[in-house]
Structure 1
């Protein structure tokens, strides 16, 4: 059974940081569903998530951040107009697909794309996770491919009785569906 923590104590916050630093995978509540997350610069951790979900690496994954500052490394290379379009949606339940012009995000997160999907969350727990990690995290729905995303800790455990290193307890946000996805360069809605 996966260890479950809340982030109310220094010990639990340290345990989260250690898990992410050791290429671990976490499960946590997001705005609408439970998510799986990890350090995006850990190929091992990302491969673990892809294997759990039975998701091909080519599709790419989303990065979630606590603030625009955490994704500024991507935005600063874009025209001001595109930066402004992206930041107008944040924080909130909108994922923006932005060009990764300097290829700063690893291929195992970006997939077969020259872009990366990024969301600056308004969910307090998600923001706390990213702040404690000191970086954006991979964020993908907690479910095997083709199944409904988990909405309860029980569903997380049922889908993944093994493979998740740490479950962070908390409440889902008020959204009933996953984030909207927008291609920020074209303005086209993808989901």
Structure 2
């Protein structure tokens, strides 16, 4: 399959009238899949009402079919066609954070969306992205779009069109290049079907921000207990993994360097994922700084690009620093733990 690339300046006016957007929208109407930027990561969009389109998403990504997809919309009125009701807490969260990096789990109407998009569940995950290119494409297509991250399943999520092209060229109809994304981590997923909203996946909106709007917010036990099955789209399987074994280390930089030295003495090529504050400290084969420890939002923004950068290196093992699990740090550690898939080394 030939993959077409459309380059769009996200800062121009009336994007939905641009020929590149309309060409991409036409592909979506033809039940093809198209990658596009959001404020979090690039998404791989397909008509959420079409089994054929949704199957193409799963096939392109190599994603298991029991992993539901998030439905993207251009305006709040769209959800009335496929959602039974919107609870008061959900309305308040929409008012506060839409458009933005927040996905809400709501009870769905039957017979509207593809059952494959929702994995046969009685609920649907829905969000309104805060990106002019995404909103223009949604408006031009006149469709709700099922859109997981536009990467091969298990690989780091894409924050540039080049990342998408690396993974999916020849597997999808097209890529809308709207430049680098902003937040860098996927949306926060909140279940609004119970009285107390529950975070199923931490992301661009923090627990503290949610609680300022709706009061008490709980967290899915599966975020801490790996023996429990996660309920959120995109959380059931290992994700974001670099090619080399990746170990997180709960220790100071001297203790991490000791691990590096031990492995290098064994003849292994070693990488370290750190932050700008410590980038000059480590004596390893490859050291990559991922943002600033004093500004965790910069770590979130650079995280997937950093994980992909390690794949350009010939390494035997990678060690990574950990971060405090407050604010966006909770989402960062969630993604790093998924990327590692290995026990944290305690020092």
So what's the TM-score if we normalise by structure 1? Answer: 0.89
Runs (5+) with no aligned partner, structure 2: 9-14, 202-347
Helix, strand or coil for the counterpart of 1:107? coil
Counterparts in 2 of 1:79 and 1:15: CA distance versus 1, 3 Å: closer
* RMSD of aligned residue pairs (Cα, Å): 2.0
Shift, 1:72, TM fit:
2.2
Helix, strand or coil for the counterpart of 1:95? strand
Q: Distance in 2 between matches of 1:22 and 1:188?
A: 36
Counterparts in 2 of 1:23 and 1:46: CA distance versus 1, 3 Å: same
The answer to whether structure 1 residue 180 and structure 2 residue 188 are counterparts is: yes
Q: Distance in 1 between matches of 2:27 and 2:47?
A: 10
Find the partner of 2:94 among 87, 91, 98. 87
Kept in 2: contact 1:82–1:185 (CA 8 A): no
Shift, 1:86, TM fit:
5.0
Q: Distance in 1 between matches of 2:20 and 2:109?
A: 37
Q: How many residues align?
A: 190
Which residue in the other structure is 2:129 paired with?
Answer: 121
Helix, strand or coil for the counterpart of 1:189? strand
- 1:24-49 deviation line (CA, Å, top 9, x unaligned): 11011111211100111222221111
- 1:62-115 deviation line (CA, Å, top 9, x unaligned): 11111101222234x315525524533322110001111444322111103110
Q: How does 1:70-149 map to 2 (within 5 A)?
A: 70-75=78-83, 77-78=84-85, 80-81=87-88, 83-88=90-95, 89-149=97-157
Runs (5+) with no aligned partner, structure 1: none
Which residue in the other structure is 2:178 paired with?
Answer: 170
The answer to whether structure 1 residue 67 and structure 2 residue 75 are counterparts is: yes
Counterparts in 2 of 1:188 and 1:97: CA distance versus 1, 3 Å: same
Find the partner of 1:40 among 48, 53, 65. 48
Bigger radius of gyration, 1 or 2?
A: 2
Which residue in the other structure is 1:2 paired with?
Answer: 3
